[in-house]
Structure 1
Amino acid sequence: MAFRRRTKSYPLFSQEFVIHNHADIGFCLVLCVLIGLMFEVTAKTAFLFILPQYNISVPTADSETVHYHYGPKDLVTILFYIFITIILHAVVQEYILDKISKRLHLSKVKHSKFNESGQLVVFHFTSVIWCFYVVVTEGYLTNPRSLWEDYPHVHLPFQVKFFYLCQLAYWLHALPELYFQKVRKEEIPRQLQYICLYLVHIAGAYLLNLSRLGLILLLLQYSTEFLFHTARLFYFADENNEKLAWAAVFGVTRLFILTLAVLAIGFGLARMENQAFDPEKGNFNTLFCRLCVLLLVCAAQAWLMWRFIHSQLRHWREYWNEQSAKRRVPATPRLPARLIKRESGYHENGVVKAENGTSPRTKKLKSP
């Protein structure tokens, strides 16, 4: 980060310079936006980066409340929070994960996975607390019918919209982090898969006005992922720690997500009166759209379950192969004692005596 000591200097704007100073570059860009708030000429543009746009006043019984809807200007806000996320990523990496990994003395492969799980533990823990707070304060848990009633949910509270913008910013920032963190080529396809999976689901719930259902599904998914990556960190610290808690919760979470998605989309939205396709009003409640969303959710859960079963079977196979290999190793055979041929008689003062007391007769060598 800024003002830290550099052990090695790189040419300006070279590849290594950008990789080692990307957080400082992002910090300078964020600082420029914050300085823009101080001047009246640039304040409007600076607020465009920092605050959610498209606010609208909705009258209530007592007064008016401010709600938001989405639009193209959200991309500018997401870009600003991408730089914020890059800075926070570097802070967690340098001041927490690097200090822990030095004590563990991990290999290169385990070091990469340790950094990945460490970053995701911090993110999932923060997201679970934030998402749970939003769900409780907005009353989505106490009133499950609100997930599909009054659809389309075009007008979003501030905290709901800001949560979605930050979620999109985090998963978009994960794409350049693959380059900044020098992730191994073998790990890139796997990480790209789950990054794109999160982006498609979060952006789909945001753009199709299924934000309430998306919050509940994210809460379930992030809780499971938090347990998994926490168990993974404990495993790297001590290989005797197994990931049994996460394995037990994983299948239950998949079942809950599928049940809730079918209940809200397949039954709740299907019984709503307004089922006309109207993108201007944000209404996507048609049979085709519902089938596409359900198919996407079911396919994603089936793919995750298949990967989970495949990995568990591989781990069990490796475990049993190790156990069987240990049983096959025979005990080291003992070498038989060498038989020493003793001459008949006994020893007396270092001279072999015959049984009758006389010394044995020495053989004479024949002369040639």
Structure 2
Amino acid sequence: VTAKTAFLFILPQYNVSVPTAEGYLTNPRSLWEDYPHVYLSFQVKFFYLCQLAYWLHALPELYFQKVRKEEIPRQLQYICLYLAHIAGAYLLNLSRLGLVLLLLQYSTEFLFYTARLFYFADENNEKLFNAWAAVFGVTRLCTLTLAVLAIGFGLARVENQAFDPEKGNFNTLLCRLLVLLLLCAAQAWLMWRFIHSQLRHWREYWNEQNAKRRVPAVPRLPARLTKRESGYHENGVVKAENGTSPRTKKLKSP
């Protein structure tokens, strides 16, 4: 967990510097122009190699960290999703688009882990979680918009539209549809899990608040017994203060 947290804190800074230096953020057309993007600069190739190395090492790490069995399926889904997107962008020569999409994703992850750190310091501090929830939805929308813009419209207008694996060209209608379908399915799955998690969190929160508002019933006190002079009446019998029946005095004979 510590290595992953450090990785997600350092990575966004490097992830911002690479697309900025390459000009992908200032010129969106560069995401699909001159496709296929076979020749990569050193920093882009190094970035992808670091990504693949990290997520591949996360697989055996599940065993060495002794992760609970019920957590393993969720972690495997998370790791495989990253590996599929990173390897797919690298092998299909969509490295420019992959860089920008990873920047969006890691920015959201960075905000989430920052919110967790503040929550561990103060359990009442949940404002960053609300900000993360809003950013998460916006990130899904931006990812879909950018993918449709680059793959659905940008690559569709490129002159070279032929399936040629030797030259790294996969710009065909079928390939574009498959990539868009996988991206849309992944974003929909992430959004569904997010909504399910938020609903469960809100349900637990309201149940906790309702439990706090409940006032325990005050037990009824037994009715006080009526005292009279040296004793009191109970069931029609006069008893002394110590609970015994008073003895009748015997008259002495003259």
TM-score range for the pair, normalised by the shorter chain length = 0.7 to 0.9
1:339 Cα deviation from its structure 2 partner:
2.5
**Cα distance change of structure 1 residues 145 and 250 upon mapping to structure 2, 3 Å threshold:** same
% identity of equivalent residues: 94
Shift of 1:59: 22
Once the two structures are superposed, the pairs formed by residues 84-99 of structure 1 within 5 Å of their partners are none
Give the superposition deviation at 1:232: 1.9
| Residue 178, structure 1, aligned to residue 62, structure 2 | yes
Task: Could you list the structure 1 runs, at least 4 aligned residues long, displaced by more than 4 angstroms after superposition.
Answer: 41-61, 344-362, 365-368
SS at match of 1:56: helix
Listed one character per residue, the Cα deviations across residues 255-314 of structure 1 (whole Å, up to 9, x for unaligned) are 111100000000000111111000000000001110111011111110010001000000
Shift of 1:358: 22
Question: What is the number of equivalent residue pairs in this alignment?
Answer: 252
Moved more, 225-234 or 291-300: 225-234
Please give the per-residue CA displacement for 1:19-48, whole angstroms capped at 9, x wherever unaligned. Answer: xxxxxxxxxxxxxxxxxxxxxx99999999
How far, CA to CA, are the matches of 1:353 and 1:48 in structure 2?
81
Deviation at 1:54, TM superposition (A): 23
Alignment partner for residue 232 of structure 2, among 346, 351, 361? 346
- Structure 1 unaligned residues grouped into runs of 5+: 1-40, 62-137
Structure 1 residue matching 2:163: 3-state secondary structure: coil
Query: 1:313-341: per-residue Cα shift (whole Å, max 9, x none)?
Result: 00111111122233334343352462242
Greater alpha carbon shift after TM alignment, 48-57 vs 267-276: 48-57
1:361–1:47 Cα change, 3 Å:
closer
Change (3 A) 1:200 1:365: farther
**d(CA) in 2 for partners of 1:310 and 1:58?**
34
CA contact (8 A) 1:52 1:161 kept: no
Q: Deviations over 1:92-112 (max 9, x none)?
A: xxxxxxxxxxxxxxxxxxxxx
Tell me how far apart the structure 2 counterparts of residues 191 and 255 of structure 1 sit (CA, whole Å): 24
- The question of whether the paired residues in 2 share the 8 Å contact of 1:152 and 1:282 is answered with yes
Question: 1:233 Cα shift?
Answer: 2.7
Q: Which moved more, 1:185-194 or 1:316-325?
A: 316-325
Whether the 8 Å contact between 1:277 and 1:285 is mirrored in structure 2 is yes
SS in structure 1 of the partner of residue 228 of structure 2: coil
How far, CA to CA, are the matches of 1:44 and 1:324 in structure 2? 37
RMSD of the alignment, in Å?
9.0
Task: Note the C-alpha offset of 1:364.
Answer: 3.6
Kept in 2: contact 1:232–1:243 (CA 8 A): no
Corresponding residue SS for 1:280: helix
Following the alignment from structure 1 to structure 2, what is the Cα–Cα distance between the partners of residues 58 and 364?
Answer: 113
Provide Cα deviations, 1:215-255, integer angstroms capped at 9, x if missing partner. Answer: 00000000001111221232233322226411111101111
Q: Contact 1:168–1:203 at 8 Å: present in 2 too?
A: yes
Quote the Cα distance in structure 1 between the aligned partners of 2:20 and 2:64. Answer: 48
Paired residues of 2:11 and 2:106 also in contact (CA < 8 A): no
SS at match of 1:52: helix
Distance 2:2 2:112 in 1: 45
Alpha carbons of 1:257 and 1:53: their partners in 2 closer, same or farther (altered >3 Å)?
A: closer
The two structures have a TM-score, normalised by structure 1, of 0.56
Q: CA deviation at 1:351?
A: 21
2:7 is equivalent to residue 47 of structure 1: yes
> Distance between the aligned counterparts of 2:41 and 2:234, measured in 1?
110
Q: Are 2:19 and 2:100, in contact at CA under 8 Å, matched by a contact in 1?
A: no
* Alpha carbons 1:52, 1:162 under 8 Å: kept: no
CA deviation after TM superposition for structure 1 residue 214, in Å: 0.3
TM-score of the superposed pair, with normalisation by structure 2? 0.80
Work out whether residues 228 and 243 of structure 1, in 8 Å CA contact, stay in contact via their aligned partners in 2.
Answer: no
Query: What is the alpha-carbon distance in structure 2 between the residues aligned to residue 218 and residue 282 of structure 1?
Result: 22
For residues 299 and 155 of structure 1, what CA distance do their matches in structure 2 show?
Answer: 29
Contact 2:12–2:107 (CA under 8 A) maintained in structure 1: no
SS across alignment from 1:55: helix
Superposed CA deviations along residues 113-150 of structure 1, whole A, max 9, x for unmatched, are xxxxxxxxxxxxxxxxxxxxxxxxx1111111000000
Relative distance call for 1:227 and 1:56 in structure 2 (3 A) is closer
The one of the two structures with greater contact order (alpha-carbon pairs below 8 A, sep at least 6) is 2
